[in-house]
Amino acid sequence: MTTLLVKNIEVLATLKAGAWHEIKQAAIMVQDKQLEFIGATSEVEAWLQTHRPDLARDGFDKTINAQGCVVIPGLVNCHHHLYQTLTRTIGTGNGLVLFDWLKFLYPIWAELTPEAIYTSAKLGLTELVLSGCTTVADHLYLYPNGSKIDDEIQAAQEVGVRFHPTRGSMSLGQSQGGLPPDRVCDSEPDIIKDCIRAIETFHDPEPFSMLRIGLAPCSPFSVTENLMRESAALARQYRLVNLHTHLAETVDEDRFCIEMFGKRPIEYAESVDWYGEDVWFAHMVHPNPREVAWLAKTHSGVCHCPSSNMILASGIAPIRHMVDEGVRVGLGVDGSASNDGNHMLNEARQAMLLQRVGWPGFESRADRFTAREALELGTLGGARVLRRDDIGTLEVGKAADFVAFRVDGLAHAGGLSDPVAALLTCAPGQAWLSVINGQVIVEEGQFLPFEIPPLVQAHNRLSREMLQRAGVA
C-alpha cells in the first residue's frame, strides 16, 4: 500500500455529489488509487489520530504542501485526435473551413506511421496532463502503413493518463460519395475484425479502469449506414464499450446528410440506432430545439469543442440550452490540428466565454454561463459522458484523480476573492500538481514520467518527414 497526503490547500473544490463544495485550508488523503479522507487540514490530522494511528505515528509515503493552490477534480477530455499534433497550424492559419481543411489534410495523414502515432499521442497526452487533464478519450479513425490503436495505447500507458481510446474508422471514400480519399479508408470486414481485437485485447470495464475501448465510425460523410449499425450492435455485446462519432458539426454536414440520406444528422443517427447512454457525439453545433430535447430524452451525450469550432468557423453550440434541458455535456480539446493546442483548462475558459457571447437567436449575456458551470462540464460532465461514476468529483472512495493550480502568482494577483473562478477568468495556467489513479504525475509543475525535450525533438522530426513524403514541405 502507498499513501499520499496533500495538505494546506488554499481551496479544495470537490463537486461533492454533483454540487460545488469548497473547503479552505484543506487536505486530501490518498491510499493506493482511492481517496480515503477529505477535509480541512486540521480535520484530517485529527481523523488520523483516531482512525489511522499508524500514519499519524509513521507518516505518509509522500506529503505535499499545496499552500497557495486550488485543487479540483482532474479534467476529463471527451474528444481528441492526438495524431494531429503532427500537423498543427496547417490550414487553420489560413482560415479553411472543416470540409476544405479535411480534404487538404487527408493526403498528409495518409503518411502516418506506427511510430508517428505513438510519438504524437505521447506528446499530446503530456501536454494535456500539464494542462490539468487526467482522463482522455481519443478518436483515432485512420490506420495507414500498419498503424494500430495499440500505438497510442502504449503512449498513454507511458504517460500514466486514464485513457478511453476509440477505435475509429472510415469506409466511405470519394468513389462512393464520401469525403475522404479511398486510400485512407478500410474495408468494413477488416474494421469490424480489428474492433473486436481491440476490445478483447485492451478493454477493462472494472471500476478504476485505466483503459476502456470505444467504437467510433468517424462521421456521416466517411462511413456507411451499415458500418454505423454494425458498430453499434458490436459495442453493445460488451459491458461499458461506448459509441462515439462526429455529428452536427457544420452546416455543410447538414447539407451532406440531407442529400445523401434524406435526413438531418440527428435523424440519421436515430435511424441507425445511435442514441442512448452508451453514445456520445462530438461537436453538436447545429441541433434545433426539437433535437436538443431528443438528446435529453434519449440520454445521449455531447462533447463540446469550443476552440476547434471557432478556428474552423463551424459555429457556436447551444450548450446553455443543452445543459438546461438535461443533456449530458462534457468538454473536448478536439484535434490538435483544429485547435493547435492541448489545454483542457483553456477549453473550459473558452466554453464559458463562448456561451456568454451567444449564438443565432440568443443575445449576448454575461451571466449566461459561470466559471463553475464550465469547470463542471470539464470534470463531472465529462465523467458522465464517458459513463464513469468513479471519477469527476472528489469524494471518499472515488479514484484519486485531482489537480492543483497555483493562484498565488502574477497571473492571479488581485483575483483571489474567488480563487476557483479565477482559474478561468484569469489566464489559464499549467498544473502544479497532477495525481492520476493515486500516482503523482506532475509535481511542482514538473512532468515526472520522462524527459520532454527528446520527445519534442523526435516529434518534430516525424512531422517534418511526414510533410515531406506528402509533398507539402
Domains contained in the chain, number: 2
Parent domain of 404: 3-73+391-446
The reply to whether 380 and 405 lie within a common domain is no
CA separation for the pair 411, 162 (Å, rounded):
29
Q: Is residue 459 part of a domain?
A: no
Three-state SS letters, 397-438: CCECCEEEEECCCHHHCCCCCCHHHHHHHCCCCCCCEEEECC
The reply to whether 239 and 172 lie within a common domain is yes
pLDDT at 17 > cutoff 80: no
The reply to whether 66 and 138 lie within a common domain is no
pLDDT at 453 > cutoff 80: yes
Which domain CATH number covers 352?
3.20.20.140
Give percent of the chain above pLDDT 70: 99
CA separation for the pair 409, 67 (Å, rounded):
12
Residue spans of alpha helices (H) in 224-337: 225-235, 251-261, 265-271, 289-298, 306-311, 319-325
The length of the chain in residues reads: 473
Residue 57 has a pLDDT of: 85
Average pLDDT taken over every residue of the chain = 95
pLDDT at 318 > cutoff 70: yes
Residue 362 has a pLDDT of: 63
CA separation for the pair 80, 165 (Å, rounded):
9
Q: Is residue 241 part of a domain?
A: yes
Strand partners, 62: 4
The reply to whether 441 and 355 lie within a common domain is no
Among 250-254, 271-275, 435-439, the minimum mean pLDDT is found in 250-254
* Residue 58's pLDDT band (cuts 50, 70, 90): confident
Strand partners, 247: 283
Which domain CATH number covers 438?
2.30.40.10
Taking residues 266-295, what's their average pLDDT? 97
CA separation for the pair 69, 29 (Å, rounded):
16
Tell the residue number behind the cell numbers 457556436, with chain if given.
316
Digit-coded pLDDT (tens) for 130-174: 999 999 999 999 999 999 999 999 999 999 999 999 999 999 999
Q: Is residue 398 part of a domain?
A: yes
Q: Is residue 461 part of a domain?
A: no
Digit-coded pLDDT (tens) for 195-239: 999 999 999 999 999 999 999 999 999 999 999 999 999 999 999
Which of 241, 239, 154 shows the shortest CA–CA distance to 195? 241
CB 393 within 8 Å of CB 380: yes
Q: Is residue 458 part of a domain?
A: no
CB 426 within 8 Å of CB 352: no
The reply to whether 15 and 144 lie within a common domain is no
What is the torsional sign of CA 288, 293, 296, 298? negative
Digit-coded pLDDT (tens) for 295-306: 999 999 999 999
Residues in contact with 400: Cβ distance below 8 Å, sequence separation at least 6, in sequence order: 4, 28, 30, 33, 34, 35, 435, 436, 437, 438
The reply to whether 246 and 329 lie within a common domain is yes
Digit-coded pLDDT (tens) for 349-394: 999 999 998 765 666 677 789 999 999 999 999 999 999 999 999 9
CA separation for the pair 43, 83 (Å, rounded):
46
For residue 264, the SS3 value is coil
Residue 199 has a pLDDT of: 98
Residue 336 has a pLDDT of: 87
Residue 368 has a pLDDT of: 85
The reply to whether 226 and 355 lie within a common domain is yes
The reply to whether 189 and 41 lie within a common domain is no
The reply to whether 239 and 333 lie within a common domain is yes
Last residue of one domain, picked from the residues 354, 385, 416: 385
The reply to whether 369 and 307 lie within a common domain is yes
CB 19 within 8 Å of CB 392: no
Pair type for strands 62-65 and 69-73:
unpaired
CA dihedral 19, 20, 23, 24 (to 10 degrees): -170
For residue 313, the SS3 value is coil
CB 401 within 8 Å of CB 435: yes
Q: Is residue 195 part of a domain?
A: yes
Q: Is residue 421 part of a domain?
A: yes
The reply to whether 110 and 186 lie within a common domain is yes
DSSP string, 316-334: ---HHHHHHHT-EEEE---
Q: Is residue 291 part of a domain?
A: yes
CA separation for the pair 177, 199 (Å, rounded):
30
Taking residues 422-432, what's their average pLDDT? 97
The reply to whether 262 and 403 lie within a common domain is no
CA separation for the pair 279, 276 (Å, rounded):
6
Taking residues 75-94, what's their average pLDDT? 94
Residue 228 has a pLDDT of: 98
∠126-347-398 over CA atoms, to 5°?
65
